Amino acid sequence: MTIEQALKTRSESKCELCSSENNLAVYAVPASEDKSAGCCVLLCDTCRGQLENPETTDENHWRCLNDTMWSQVPAVQVMVYRQLKRLSAKTDWAMDLVDMMYLEDDVKEWAEKGLVEEEQASIPTRDANGAILQAGDSVTIIKDLPVKGSSMVIKRGTPVRNISLTDNPLHIQGRADGVQMVIISAYTKK
């Protein structure tokens, strides 16, 4: 049985968030350990489109989560929790639903992990002047920096070319004085 067949059976061929029966497709829950049916949901075009492009969110569409939040399927619970958390910044009704929602500890951890990853992805890496840094940029060190674990000091004015971004928006990776290292982005300027 394919993932899509398993999800159609589980959801009775309806969107697992809003119960629509039109244009259904498999949606892998972000920050999941695998891509099995247990980590996927069946969504309609409307739900999928608004999840993938949050700027197009229609808050009234998501009032359906009032019923969906009681689903026994962990992947559905994760998606409902994340969407309600996003909406709770804008609407009181979503905040009330988040307060009422109960999740097992492992399911809540899964849901929170995805929110943290989204938040980190949305925070840009900035230099000392507040300029946004991107992979491939060249920066200059603005302060003498001792290198941890050695007696080496990277001098002020040292160029770092072709930087890479890390998972942490406060750090960049680059080669300074011939050594590859992680550098605190606040000690650089574009």
DSSP result, 34-72: --SGGGEEEE-HHHHHHHH-GGG--GGGGGGHHHHTT-S
User: Which residue has 């770092």 as its token pair?
Assistant: 160
**What mean pLDDT is predicted for residues 120-131?**
81
- Condensed to tens digits (0 to 9), the pLDDT of residues 71-122 reads 999 999 999 999 999 898 888 999 999 999 999 999 999 998 878 766 656 6
Q: What is the pLDDT of residues 1-60, one digit of tens each?
A: 799 999 999 999 999 999 999 999 999 998 888 888 899 999 999 999 999 888 889 999
Contact 159, 190 (CB under 8 A): no
Q: Concatenated DSSP letters for 89-115?
A: TT-HHHHHHHHH----HHHHHHHHHHH
pLDDT for position 155: 92
**How much is the pLDDT for 120?**
59
User: Model confidence at 176, in pLDDT bands (50, 70, 90)?
Assistant: confident
Q: Which domains does the chain have, with CATH numbers?
A: 3-122 (no CATH), 139-189 (2.30.30.40)
Q: What is the pLDDT of residue 122?
A: 65
Q: What is the pLDDT of residue 113?
A: 86
What is the three-class DSSP state of 170? coil
Give me the pLDDT at residue 188, please: 94
- In the chain, the amino acid numbered 3 is I
Q: Which tokens hold the place of 15?
A: 């969107």
Query: Quick one: pLDDT at residue 21?
Result: 94
More confident residue, 178 or 48: 48
Question: Which residues are CB-contacts of 172 (< 8 A; sequence separation ≥ 6)?
Answer: 125, 133, 139, 160, 163, 164, 165, 166, 182, 183, 185, 188
Confidence (pTM): 0.64
Query: What integer pLDDT is reported at residue 31 of this predicted model?
Result: 84
Q: In 3D, which of 79, 88, 19 has the Cα closest to residue 52?
A: 79
At 151 the pLDDT is: 87
Question: Closest Cα partner for 79 from 4, 13, 27, 117?
Answer: 27
Look up residue 78 and give its two tokens: 């994760």
Q: What is the pLDDT of residues 147-172, one digit of tens each?
A: 888 888 999 999 999 999 887 888 99
Q: What pLDDT, on the 0 to 100 scale, is given for residue 118?
A: 67
